[in-house]
Amino acid sequence: MIQAETLTGSTSSDAAAFPRALRASGFEGEIAMDEATRLTMATDNSIYQVAPELVLFPATGADIVRVLETIGTKGFRDIGFTPRGGGTGTNGQSLGRSVVMDTSRHLNRILEIDPDGRRARVEPGVVLNQLNTALAGHGLFFPPHVSTASRATLGGMIGTDACGKGSARYGRTHDYVESLELVLADGRVLRLRSLTRDEVDSGDSPEAALARSLRERCAADPRAIAGAFPEMTRSLTGYNLRDAFGADGSVHLQHLVTGAEGTLGFVRQATLNLLPLPARRGMAVVRYASFDDALQDARELLATRPSAIETLDEHLFELARKDSDWFRVQQAMTGGTPPEKPLAVNFVEYEADDDAWLEGRLAGLDEALAASGRSIGHHVAADE
């Protein structure tokens, strides 16, 4: 049973007054304080359970402004809020004890698709699969591919700078964020995009002033920033200072917000860059006598420029052998290896725009496997 609480940092009278003040501001969405909703919002894809005291479902982008403006008024300034999308994060990013603002219920519209410019404008509650389904007819896709693509929202992916299968080739979410509409804690709205040195130096907009200030404070010694961030494809710790400041004096404020987990503001719209769908795909199932051999081959496999590598150990093999469809993939997976022998597999995926590039990657794979000598065989499948 969730106990009745007051909004964090407020008195009981403030807690009762906040929903009334929010309605008076013109807030059009839903306000929920019932136990069932709070229980639902107390969990996500992590191990944590944190019950909010109030859950908001904004109906429009203007509602986000109204919420933050109301929180900024006297009597409510100590109230904290947490943005929430699909709740698919594994680190509790969408959980909070005060106000949780869920965008997945109403703010889930694809506002614009520009096939010629290869960009899309979306609200934060749009689900990744929803966007890619809409883009497929235009021959385009949004590359960051998380395993929870059927539930993960783009607002959440921006908040965590998400990436997944294919990150070795396509990078992370910030690589595709062209611009953001960001609502600050006081309700002001900034439109964040890449600014050239001249725009930063001479611009009179709030965004240019912010970029100048941040460049002076954070980019005085680029070597310090470069030294603080390891060269990792999935380095997701801290604000993205490394990609926020260009060597030419440009400033990319949208990159700073991507990965900030809502601590710098609330994203209410995003313009995203897109890529053409790959014309060809191929996959190699590379077999090993041990899990260690499969892991040790990763460096050689990465040199062949795959879009993804996934490793399957002997424990998962045991589960797969019990599946009713095992006979369909048995030869590719085992190559006739007796079932009592432990096996590990690397699935190595390639994506290409033409047959020649794909064939070149697969030929390079053959050479890499022969050079390392760790694998005990492999099977290649390509789409037609």
- Digit-coded pLDDT (tens) for 203-228: 999 999 999 999 988 877 777 777 77
In the prediction, which pLDDT does 167 show? 87
Q: Are 279 and 358 in contact (CB under 8 A)?
A: no
How far apart are alpha carbons 267 and 269 in whole angstroms? 6
- Return the minimum-mean-pLDDT range out of 104-118, 142-156, 167-181, 211-225: 211-225
Q: Is 359 exposed, middle or buried (0-12, 13-18, 19+ CB in 10 A)?
A: middle
- Return the minimum-mean-pLDDT range out of 130-134, 149-153, 224-228: 224-228
- Categorize the per-residue pLDDT at 12 as very low, low, confident or very high, splitting at 50, 70 and 90: very low
Closest CA to 239 of 160, 163, 313, 186: 160
pTM: 0.88
- DSSP strand E in the chain: where? 30-32, 54-57, 81-84, 99-102, 110-114, 119-122, 140-141, 177-183, 189-195, 251-252, 266-273, 275-276, 280-288, 308-312, 344-352, 377-382
200's tokens: 């930063």
Which residues are within 8 A (CB) of 263 and not within 5 positions of it... i.e. 6 or more apart? Answer: none
In the prediction, which pLDDT does 14 show? 57
Q: Are 273 and 281 in contact (CB under 8 A)?
A: no
In the prediction, which pLDDT does 369 show? 94
Q: Are 345 and 336 in contact (CB under 8 A)?
A: no
Mean confidence (pLDDT) of the chain = 90
Q: Is the pLDDT of residue 374 over 80?
A: yes
User: To the nearest whole percent, how much of the chain has pLDDT over 70?
Assistant: 93
Q: Are 67 and 56 in contact (CB under 8 A)?
A: yes
In the prediction, which pLDDT does 66 show? 97
Structural domains present in the chain: 12-102 (3.30.43.10), 110-276 (3.30.465.10), 280-382 (3.30.70.3450)
- Categorize the per-residue pLDDT at 195 as very low, low, confident or very high, splitting at 50, 70 and 90: very high
Cα–chain center distance at 226? 23
Q: Is the pLDDT of residue 6 over 60?
A: no
Output b/e per residue, 194-221; b: 16+ Cβ within 10 A.
bbeeebbeeeeeebbebbbebbeebbee
Closest CA to 110 of 123, 94, 100, 93: 123
- Categorize the per-residue pLDDT at 343 as very low, low, confident or very high, splitting at 50, 70 and 90: confident
How far apart are alpha carbons 117 and 243 in whole angstroms? 23
**Which residues share a beta bridge with 288?**
344
How far apart are alpha carbons 28 and 179 in whole angstroms? 26
- Categorize the per-residue pLDDT at 5 as very low, low, confident or very high, splitting at 50, 70 and 90: very low
- In tens, the pLDDT along 41-98 reads 999 999 999 999 999 999 999 999 999 999 998 889 889 889 999 999 998 989 999 9
* Helix ranges, 107-164 (H): 128-136, 154-160
* Helix ranges, 196-290 (H): 197-202, 206-218, 222-228, 241-244, 253-257
Q: Is the pLDDT of residue 229 over 90?
A: no
* Helix ranges, 284-378 (H): 291-296, 298-302, 314-321, 326-334, 355-372
